[in-house]
Every structure is written in C-alpha cells, then in structure tokens.
Structure 1
C-alpha cells in the first residue's frame, strides 16, 4: 500500500525542522525530547497497513504545561504536531506525513478523580482502560468501553472508539462528559461539565470526540461510569450458517434483550482462534454472548436467547460461568485480529469496520461474504453484530502489488454496500488516512466542506495531524 499525493495535505508554509528549532525544544524539554531513530520509528505507524512515516522528533509529555509549551513553539515555527497514545490505531492516524513533532501523551497517566456518587471519573489522556478499571474495582464500578487493544483513554476519545460492549453501553461518544484539549495556538480549552446533560451552547465535547487529533490535543477526559454487574454470564453457540446467527441477533435486538456483548465469528475466524489460542471451538459460524444483570434477570435473558438460537438452528450452547473462562473467551475474541494475521507469515491486514442499521445486518454480512468469496488471499468476517458493526479482514502480502490492489477494490465494494444500505464506512476505527475517499462518498461534498471550515477555524495553519480525515484546499495553509 502506498500513500498517494492526493492523500497528503495541501502544500503549506511550514518551516523546516531547523537546528534552531531543535535547540529551542531541547532547552525547554531536555531529555523528554528524542530524535533518535528508535524513538522516531516507534512513533511512525500504529497498527495500520501503511508504510511507516516517522516524525522528526518525539516529545514525552509529562504534564499539561509540556503540551502547551510544545504547541506554542510548534505554532510559532509552523511545525506539524501528531498526538500519540498507545499506538493501536488502524487507519494511519499516527503517520507523520509531513514530519514534525510527535507528542507522546502516555506519560499523562494520572487518575485525577473518581466520583463514585456521581458515577464519573476524570483521567489524564495517557490512562489506559485497564488502569482505570483496576482503580474502579474497590468502588464497585467499571468503565465498559472495550476496543480490545491496550488503548489509552485519550486515544479512544480521539478516535471515538467502541468495541465489544458497545451494544449495551454505547461508544466513547456517549460516555465522554467533558474534556480538556490544547488547541493549535496553545490555548487550553475545557469543554462540558460533570453533569449528565447540558443545553449550553455548541457541544464542543462531541466535536473533539472522534476528531483524530486534527482539532486539538486531548489531555484529560471525564467519563461516565457504571456499577459492576451483580452477575455475569457468557456463552458460545454455533450455527449451520451465518444467516441463522445474524437472524438471532436481529431478533434479540428487536425484542429488547439487553445483551452486554454479542460477537459473530465466521468459520475461518474460529479456525484461526483455535490454531493460535488452542481454544478447541466448534468450527462453525459462532456467536459469543455475554449477559449482565441480577441473577434473576440473567436467567430471563439466557432462556430467551436459548429459544431464539434454537429457533434459528443454533446448537451447542456452551457456558463460561467462571471469571477465568470468560476472560479466556474474550481474550481470544479480542485477539482474533492477530490470530487471523498469524495464519499467514509476513502478512498485513486490511480491515473494514462498516456499520449498518440492524435491519440490514444480514444482507450486509452476506454481501460482504459474497464480495470476498473469490479473493486470492485469506479473508475472515467477525465483529460486534449487536450494533450492526462487523469487520472483514483481508490478510494480504504487503509486497505483492496485485494483492494490495485487489484488497483495496474488495474493501471499497464492502464499504459501498454498507453506505447504500444507510450505513457508514467506519463504525469505530475512524477515517485517518485510509478512509478519506469513503468519507467523501458518505458525507457528500457539502458535508466535507463544512468539516474543512471547522478545521480551518480551529487550526488555520493546518498543523494538527495534517493529511488526515480529509484534504484541505490550498487556502488552508496560506
């Protein structure tokens, strides 16, 4: 996969990374600034299939003042800035297309406050979801958004992440109450409050959520919390074909069954998980299910789901009651991406994450399977079907131009199908570099124009993560 000139931002008036600029950054940050090859390469790509594009320097930020001072210097010198967290983004969000400074926010890792009575917590951007949930356990609370990766909450906010629990608890969009961000001209902006709702002015919080580092560097977020479920139960059930599995999900959602997790995995995905994780699962289209609630409510949910599964040809309902069994099950599901990739040595994965209205799920999934059936490389289908979101994984040889071109053609066909069904090109991974053309198809020219004008209002010099989400006209950097 190559980066085309059309995917770059417009030519800019930015100054080069001069010795004078390097010295100014060094004087302010000393050992926090790193220009060595190892640091640059570690901040060059994330998990995307694109070739690395390293920055010219990496700053390990420890405090809000570090971010503010770095942004002020970069603004004066017109140096691009890319925010960096755990490095798990999938769509090229971390590529330093025009060089510049990568500000690593993982050092901002303090849990500022836990307000158990209000069911909120405020954390710095570098706190991971695992770190937060460990701190919440003594309070009987948890934060449910679980994209699978060992992600930071700042990065999850910036990409509007979701994951396996989104069917019940929503995505980061619903669960970020307020945030702090540093703008391109080094102003510190506080959006929202800890209140559950507000009608005060424009919703700036939602504007930053999902902006992928193009409007500001998110340094702190306040999140909704939830009580730990009194009882949890998980199950695996297999079906003779994908239609039975998907029809079960659609019927469950339409009947209001409060599933906490509902994951579909195709036969080839199960084969990969068995091979890599030694799971011993039946090699058939499969649903992974999880239920949260009281013992009584769980019994009702489980009985209804068993009936629905049976009516649609499901069999082999196997329970994972013990915490260690559930952990093993969901670890295998979260690592399905890597398991599929491991089936072909030296491969890269191009992944779709289309999302459609639940009524279109069966047609979308079957349509994707039909599109991929004659692919010249391995493909798998799995995902969070409870909210209409699933992934097609195209396991390709990155050194084979014909395979890469074929993969992009198939990817585009799956996205076009989803958009034609009233869906979206990305349910959770974001746009980054990879889905820019798809966003234009989905949002239309007027929608893209409005986004461009918002970007120009926030960042007229186009310093923040340039070349991502959409290109800007030449005037953007004038």
Structure 2
C-alpha cells in the first residue's frame, strides 16, 4: 500500500477537486452519533463516471482505500475512512438525468438528494416515496438500503431501485438491471449492490421507481395510556389489512424531547403518528377504522387532518427526533441503534427494550417504524464517558440478541458499518463467509470501504 503515491497521482488527475486540507478532511471524518472523528487522508470530488473509474484505477494500483461519501447522515459509521485512504465525495454528481413520467421512473446521479428529486417532481404528479428522515443522497440511500417512515406502504430502497451504474474496484464500469419492472435474466446484481455500503462498488447512476401522488393524504396523531396499547393497535391494524402509508411509534420520553425541541405541549405518553393515502373516501374510512382500533386499546385524543401544513409540521417533528433526543440531556451525544422483528413479536420486543432502558442508569428513548416491525433507541451518554458508552453498547447488544431470538434482524435500516459487525456471524452463520467470498471476488485488494460489513483480513 502506498497512500502517499496515490494522493500525488489523484492530485495530478483532479487538481483542485482533490483536497487534503484539515478542514475538508475533518468534515469527512465526522458522523451523526458517538463514533470518534476519523478523517481520511484526502477527499476526491468526482464529477463523472469516468472520474470515478480513473480514481479507482489509481487506488487499485496503489492499494489505497476508497470510502464513498454521500451526505454523511449514516448512523453506524458506515462512511468513515477507518483505515485511511480517500473519501470519495459524490456530492458534485447531482444531476437528474431523466424523468420518464409514463414509465414511472427517474434516472439520477448519486449525489441527488431525495428532497431535490421530489422538488423537481412537484409539478409532475409523481414522487419518490422512500423517506429516511434526513435529506440523504440517493446514492447513499441505495448503498445502505435505506427505508424510513413510508416503507410500510412503498417499500425500502431494495424495492425502489430498478437499475444501477456501478464502478468496480478495478475501475470497470457495469450496469445492472433495467427500466423493466421484472426480469428473469441472470443474477440480481442490483440487489447485491443495494445495501452493500460501498464495499462492492461505487454507484454512479440510479434508475428509481416513482409513485403517483395520491388523490388525498391525511395525517393523524393518537396518544395511549400504555406502550402495549399503542403497539397492539399497530399489529391489529396491519392484521386487518388497512393500507397505511406511515405508522410511527414514539414513547413518552421521545414526546418529552419533541416538546423541548419544538416548544410543543403534547401529553407525555406513548403516541402513534399516522398517515393515510388514497381517495378522499378511502382516507376517511381508513382513519375511522384506526380510530376505533386505537380506542379499543386505550387510545385517546385521536386527531386527523388533511391540511398540508399540519402534516408537514407532524413529520418535521418526527424527522428531527435525533436532535430532540439531545434536549433530554443537554451536552450529551446520542448513540442510536435499531432492530427489526416479526410483527407478531413487536410488542414483546418493545416492552423488553423499554424495561432494559428503565433499569439502566442512562437516559434512553424509543421511536420506530413499527408498522414493519422496526424500531430504534436513542441512548444519551456523556461525551468522553467510557463507562456510559460501555453501558450503551451493552444495551444495544441486548437489543441485537433480542432481535435474533425473536426471528428478526440486527438492523432494519441503519446498516452494519462498524457498530453491528460483531453480530453479523450470529445472524448469518456460514452465509457471512459467503458474503466475504463475494467481497474477495469483486474487490480482491480490499480497497472499497474496508472493515465494513464483512471481515476478510
């Protein structure tokens, strides 16, 4: 490995688009949670697929690690250059290349953010549905197999990426998938790349599935006297086949954070945040059905609205939960983690997790996309406090073990990064070594985001 030679060659190739200043390196060494700052040796700013291919050819020849970077909003250190090398900032590859309105798909570069795409689509009657909360780049969302609040109805990035252009570790450019809605042609390389966290290739173009804007949208909020009542409402709603668009659970501590952060006055009790899509009559019928289910489970204060500003305020509050948590313990740093379990075990998993948090000396709160069995904890720890960090890691480990015991997974949407590596073998068994074999095949020199997802050293 000769990183210095790689840096010199990249500087000659890219000129001012290759930066080694402390300030830029520091930005690309930060993350949204507790992991220490880990700056790369340099940051490259490609503007085309050919740029990416040339960069990877150089880095392959010099055995220099390459870590793709979108907007840096991942939560498990997914984009940190933990073994040095370069950060490949895809932010300048931000063009929307084509909108096929009749075919319901869009072709974009990886640096386009989900909000930018939806702003562009505003007058088309279409939208891109995957909403992880943060204004993440679409390339990063595909790399981490992102989902979010709307996955219950529209699926995750796995279901919404039709095709990709990918640059492999040696600089080869391949295309996977097509605009067709289904195919029986060969291995599904698109699904292999989606969720690989930049360890198998660098995404340089995406073809995405779009949805038609529903005729009517309404949002609702309902409080409960117990966590079980809220979660049972979720389970019964799903079992009845009500076509929910969003179904979010927040516990009383999360509500307290919302009130601190946004100046609200919500009762500090478990709540469900809901959204319904469809015709005007269908939306009204769905809301009435869920209100009845909620009432049977101790729900009260069911309020729903079709006003755009009311819906926007509700989901803005929900999307800002990461920052709301920090108001629960000013000066803290959040450690966030997630698991996903079968819907039949959801109540059990949430209640056991809440009991763990209550017995812990650190502050913790729960929020989740519970309609698909996925929930998160925010654990508030003092910066630099090794004892509290150890407690938080133990709580996260207990959550992972709980998910596997209940037939679930250690991550519904955060991905693996660094934080979940120690639990991959327990979830996947011999299949984890098969993943490593795939990595060795596509990246034999281990230059693409090394140290993530699999262990091959």
Residue among 454, 457, 465 paired with 2:449? 465
Asked whether the equivalents of residues 357 and 363 of structure 2 are also in contact (C-alpha less than 8 Å), the reply is no
In 2: Cα distance, 1:156 partner to 1:346 partner? 29
Q: Kindly report which structure 2 residues correspond to 1:60-459, keeping only aligned pairs within 5 A, or say none.
A: 60-444=45-429, 446-459=430-443
Deviation at 1:408, TM superposition (A): 0.7
In 2: Cα distance, 1:45 partner to 1:254 partner? 42
In 2: Cα distance, 1:35 partner to 1:363 partner? 50
Deviation at 1:279, TM superposition (A): 2.3
Deviation at 1:338, TM superposition (A): 1.1
Asked whether the equivalents of residues 43 and 55 of structure 1 are also in contact (C-alpha less than 8 Å), the reply is yes
Deviation at 1:321, TM superposition (A): 2.5
Secondary structure in 2 matching 1:117:
coil
Asked whether the equivalents of residues 371 and 414 of structure 1 are also in contact (C-alpha less than 8 Å), the reply is no
Deviation at 1:447, TM superposition (A): 1.1
Deviation at 1:457, TM superposition (A): 0.3
Segments of structure 2 that go 5 or more residues without pairing to the other structure are none
- 1:365-401: per-residue Cα shift (whole Å, max 9, x none)? 0010111112111110111000000111111113111
Deviation at 1:129, TM superposition (A): 0.4
2:18 is the alignment partner of 1:33: yes
Which runs of at least 4 in structure 1 moved beyond 4 Å after TM superposition?
Answer: none
Larger displacement relative to structure 2 (111-120 or 337-346): 337-346
In 2: Cα distance, 1:464 partner to 1:371 partner? 37
In 2: Cα distance, 1:79 partner to 1:246 partner? 48
In 2: Cα distance, 1:22 partner to 1:428 partner? 34
In 1: Cα distance, 2:376 partner to 2:56 partner? 36
- 1:290-310: per-residue Cα shift (whole Å, max 9, x none)? 000000111210111111011
Number of residue pairs the alignment of both structures matches: 457
